[in-house]
Structure 1
Amino acid sequence: MKPFEMPRIYSEEELTRIAAKATQRFVEERHAAEYALAEQYHEVFARASMGVAHVMQVTDNLEHLREKGTDLLTDGYLDTLRSMVRPTVSEDDFKNLSSTGTTGRTKFHDPELSAAALDYVQRNLNLDLFPWLEDGEEPSASDIHAASVSIAALMAEQRTKTAMRGGASHKQESLVKDTLAERCHYKRIVGADFDIQMHAPRPGELFDGETKVADTKADVVFGLYDGRFMCLECKVSNSEVNSFKRLNHEAVEKTKQWESQFGKQCVSGAVLKGCFKPANLLSAQESGTFLFWSDSLDPLVDFVERTRR
């Protein structure tokens, strides 16, 4: 029996060369986008500044946070409050650490949930930014301004980076799907979550939307022409350090789960963009994750076309 076609495996030297080119391309694109990013940061900073000012006004510069904070939670100011604690916490961490189990604004109409959320924030306020809460003195205008600018800058930094990553990943997914449709003649269909192969996309079918495969979200899922199917994760990294989390932790863990569930019937890989450490690329490949780059999808197209034969 003729063995299945498989995607290309790269040598360590090839991965080093590809990683250097991908980093150079990432830097060039970021330089070209610097003006737009600055404008985006400016807009987010302005909105964050207004949010901080509102919180400070409502709570009398945080002196009466517990008594007056419920309306802030139900009006959607939890993100601002989360940025006022040390260290700042993600939404998921806040759910657990505050024992509220939620970040939904409507949920905080419940007095117990509201009290738990405000108690957590009050207990962990960043006193380096709000020293008047500790020394008991009236804050000066400069004290309030310095704290407000610091919080707004932090929020603008986090939100801009999050938007950048999300936008880049979405563009990757769209590019991969467009390439499969245009160059490999895939038919886009409405997909559904599945955990057995008979519900996977058939040869020439591309799930056009988010899909969970074996209870794990896959960015791109499509049927290969030889009867197998393929799952791809799209990952963008802005630093070699960050690349371990994006590729070796997030993507590789998913590909291992899919392989465990479906064996050889599922071919799993990652489409990459940005800065990736060659050693991390090699480790991911050795773990069974096939690698592609959105800067050039020719190897993906070549593999798909070979499955026709």
Structure 2
Amino acid sequence: MEISVPQVPPPRWSEDQFTEDAAEAVRLFREVRMHEPLEQYLEQFETYQNAVENLIEGTVGLTLLRDQAVDLLTQPDVLTSVRYLASPAISEDDLKVLAEAKLTPTRLREDEEMAKRVIDTVLLGLDRNRFPWVSEDREATDAEREAAVIATAALIATQKVQTLRRNDAKDEQEDAVAATLKQHGFTQVPTRSVSNVSHLPNLGEFCREALFGSRKADLIVRLWDGRAMPVECKVSNSSTNSVKRLNNDAAVKAKTWIQEFGTATAVPAAMLSGVFKVHNLESAQADGLTLFWAHNLVAMTDFIEATRP
């Protein structure tokens, strides 16, 4: 049975508090960033060094790319290497649109002309600095091939490591929030779509990766007073990146959730780590987003505990 209790307002932080927490988050970001193992980059580099070498040698200096389109594009590492022949590299999503193609192995094998169209699209953006022999219609020298392999493998490895770092940091943040909730008496329940309050987890329960209204939340926490706290986990590696993740994503979701559920039902929140500017934090808070920090999970649990009857 639902218990009616006075609703405790979510915490709101002052400029000085934001300044202090933002500085601590940056300090921790630097500490983690500078101690990340080089092995991750080297592993990615070795993988794609081999892939690019085989790509160049197997296609006779890239001259047979179209002839081998299907075989090449149905190998994940080679598909990635092909995308990075262009400068700047073409993402899979962009390549699908630009080449009007599906990049699944099954579809590529079914439609050889589509596979060739993908190659043609990449070749339109071919980096002439890395692969000068192609546009000059001649054989590559050994030095040119070696330089092209190293440069391309380095580009791919750098991007792969950055992506892995972002994903790992976000996953770690979500796991930390979930573990903290469990330590404070919450039970994790299966993911669900919440279109109205009847679909919410019960009091003292939470779920992960759930649709809350029209927008997805990383977690939905059912507070002890009955309100729902959709939580977005945001990791930023720069102040520019923070605007995208905090103000243009989490804060926009907060506005949507408040419009759909009202402040009496929804307490939109974000869990932050990394680099954030104070004025962006203040702007997000003004938009109705409750902000917590991964280095101070106690602030979140204090608020949650305050909602107990």
> If the TM-score is normalised by the length of the shorter chain, which range does it land in?
over 0.9
Match of 1:246 in 2: 245
Decide whether the 8 Å contact of 2:69 with 2:112 is kept in 1.
Answer: no
**Identical aligned residues as a percent:** 37
State the Cα distance separating 1:133 from its structure 2 match. Answer: 1.1
Q: 1:23 aligns with which of 22, 26, 34?
A: 26
Decide whether the 8 Å contact of 1:202 with 1:229 is kept in 2.
Answer: no
State the Cα distance separating 1:113 from its structure 2 match. Answer: 2.5
Tell me, in whole angstroms, the C-alpha distance in 2 between the residues paired with 1:103 and 1:3.
Answer: 54
Amino acid at match of 1:25: L
State the secondary structure of the residue aligned to 1:308: coil
Q: Which runs of 4+ in 1 moved over 3 A?
A: none
Tell me, in whole angstroms, the C-alpha distance in 2 between the residues paired with 1:288 and 1:125.
Answer: 46
Matched, 1:40 2:43: no
Any stretches of 5+ residues in structure 1 without a counterpart?
none
State the Cα distance separating 1:3 from its structure 2 match. Answer: 5.4
Tell me, in whole angstroms, the C-alpha distance in 1 between the residues paired with 2:243 and 2:90.
Answer: 21
Match of 2:231 in 1: 232
Alignment of 1:153-172 (within 5 A): 153-172=154-173
Tell me, in whole angstroms, the C-alpha distance in 1 between the residues paired with 2:152 and 2:243.
Answer: 29
Decide whether the 8 Å contact of 1:44 with 1:156 is kept in 2.
Answer: yes
Decide whether the 8 Å contact of 1:66 with 1:122 is kept in 2.
Answer: no
Amino acid at match of 1:11: S
State the Cα distance separating 1:2 from its structure 2 match. Answer: 7.5
State the secondary structure of the residue aligned to 1:99: coil
Any stretches of 5+ residues in structure 2 without a counterpart?
none
Residues 24-57 of structure 1 deviation map (CA, whole Å, 9 limit, x = unaligned): 12112223x33x2x01100010001011112112
Decide whether the 8 Å contact of 1:7 with 1:300 is kept in 2.
Answer: no
Match of 2:289 in 1: 289
Matched, 1:206 2:206: yes
State the Cα distance separating 1:166 from its structure 2 match. Answer: 0.5
Decide whether the 8 Å contact of 1:270 with 1:289 is kept in 2.
Answer: yes
Match of 1:107 in 2: 107
Alignment of 1:55-204 (within 5 A): 55-76=55-76, 77-100=78-101, 102-109=102-109, 110-183=111-184, 185-204=185-204
Decide whether the 8 Å contact of 2:45 with 2:157 is kept in 1.
Answer: yes
Tell me, in whole angstroms, the C-alpha distance in 1 between the residues paired with 2:222 and 2:113.
Answer: 49
Provide the alpha-carbon RMSD of the alignment: 1.6
State the Cα distance separating 1:91 from its structure 2 match. Answer: 2.1
* TM-score normalised by length of structure 1: 0.93
State the Cα distance separating 1:280 from its structure 2 match. Answer: 1.1
Tell me, in whole angstroms, the C-alpha distance in 1 between the residues paired with 2:104 and 2:256.
Answer: 31
Tell me, in whole angstroms, the C-alpha distance in 1 between the residues paired with 2:170 and 2:203.
Answer: 25
State the secondary structure of the residue aligned to 1:25: helix
Match of 1:51 in 2: 51
Residues 144-168 of structure 1 deviation map (CA, whole Å, 9 limit, x = unaligned): 1111111100000000010011011
